[in-house]
Amino acid sequence: MTQELSGRRTAEEVLQTLKDGNKRFISGNLEHPNHCEESRQSLVSGQEPIATILTCADSRVPPVDIFDQGLGDLFVVRVAGNVIGDHTLGSIEYAVKHLHTPLVIVMGHRNCGAVAAVASGGALEGHIATLGPAIQTAIKNVKEMEGDLINNASKELAKQIAVKIADSEPIIAELVQSGAVKIVPAYYDLLSGEVEFL
Kindly report, residue by residue over 119-155, the tens digit of the pLDDT: 998 888 999 999 999 999 999 999 999 999 999 999 9
The model carries a pTM of: 0.93
Its sign, for the CA torsion 162, 166, 167, 172, is positive
What's the Rg (C-alpha) of the chain? 17
Tell me whether the omega of the peptide bond preceding residue 62 falls within 30 degrees of 0, making it cis. Answer: no
Q: How far, in Å, CA of 136 to CA of 152, rounded? A: 12
Please indicate, yes or no, if residue 41 is contained in any of the structural domains: no
Please indicate, yes or no, if residue 10 is contained in any of the structural domains: yes
Question: Is residue 20 over pLDDT 70?
Answer: yes
Please indicate, yes or no, if residue 128 is contained in any of the structural domains: yes
- Of 1, 20, 78, the C-alpha closest to 197 is 20
pLDDT at 39 (0 to 100): 86
**Rounded to the nearest 5 degrees, what angle is found at the Cα of 96, between the Cα atoms of 40 and 159?**
110
Give the 3-state secondary structure of residue 67: coil
Are the beta carbons of 114 and 134 closer than 8 angstroms?
no
Its sign, for the CA torsion 84, 90, 96, 100, is negative
Please indicate, yes or no, if residue 38 is contained in any of the structural domains: no
Please indicate, yes or no, if residue 118 is contained in any of the structural domains: yes
Are the beta carbons of 156 and 143 closer than 8 angstroms?
no
- What does the pLDDT look like over 60-106, one tens digit per residue? 999 999 999 999 999 999 999 999 999 999 999 999 999 999 999 99
- 146 to each of 116, 134, 141, 142, 189, how far by Cα in Å? 17, 21, 12, 9, 18
Please indicate, yes or no, if residue 126 is contained in any of the structural domains: yes
Residue 143 structural domain: 3-33+47-197
Give the 3-state secondary structure of residue 122: coil
Place 42 in a pLDDT band, splitting at 50, 70 and 90.
confident
Are the beta carbons of 111 and 137 closer than 8 angstroms?
no
pLDDT at 46 (0 to 100): 85
- What does the pLDDT look like over 9-18, one tens digit per residue? 999 999 999 9
pLDDT at 1 (0 to 100): 35
Please indicate, yes or no, if residue 68 is contained in any of the structural domains: yes
- What does the pLDDT look like over 181-190, one tens digit per residue? 999 999 999 9
Here the CATH number for the domain that contains residue 162 is: 3.40.1050.10
Number of domains observed in the structure of the chain: 1
Mean pLDDT estimate for the chain: 94
Place 2 in a pLDDT band, splitting at 50, 70 and 90.
very low
